[in-house]
């Protein structure tokens, strides 16, 4: 995994703060490959929050906080609400190939 422990700590703390204390977070994509270079930070989140409007606000605050603490870099966030019953391929890929951070 190509994130430092301080970076992981920032991501986890911000996810808990913005998405709820039972939120779960995975890192997936190129950042889990030690041999790759560069790449954005791809995060898959299963939030405690379920209200769509609250989730939009939470995502914006989460990204703002990450950019302030981690610096300007490309961060992609995929959110799956518990109420969304379809298991889209991106959800499966993130969970099956990713590294659970929280």
46-73 pLDDT, tens digit each: 999 999 999 999 999 999 999 999 998 9
pLDDT at position 99: 97
- For the chain, which residues make up each domain, given as ranges? 5-100
Spatial separation of the C-alpha atoms in residues 9 and 15, rounded to whole Å: 10
Task: Work out the pLDDT band at 2, boundaries 50, 70, 90.
Answer: confident
How far is residue 75 from each of residues 11, 51, 71, 83, measured CA to CA in Å? 11, 22, 11, 24
Give the pair of three-digit tokens for residue 36. 């790759």
Report residue 73: phi and psi, to 5°: -155, 165
Number of C-beta neighbours around residue 54 at 10 A: 14
Q: Which of 50, 30, 39 is nearest to 93 (CA)?
A: 30
Whole-model pTM?
Answer: 0.92
Is the domain 5-100 a CATH 3.30.460 member?
Answer: yes
């Amino acid at each position: 995994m190509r994130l430092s422990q301080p970076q992981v700590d920032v991501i986890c703390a911000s996810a808990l703060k913005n998405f709820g204390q039972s939120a779960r977070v995975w890192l997936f994509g190129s950042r889990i490959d030690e041999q790759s270079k560069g790449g954005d930070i791809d995060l898959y989140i299963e939030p405690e929050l379920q209200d769509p409007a609250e989730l939009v606000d939470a995502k914006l605050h989460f990204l703002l906080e990450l950019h302030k603490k981690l610096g300007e870099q490309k961060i992609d966030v995929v959110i799956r609400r518990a109420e969304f019953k379809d298991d889209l391929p991106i959800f499966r890929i993130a969970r099956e190939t990713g590294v659970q951070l929280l």
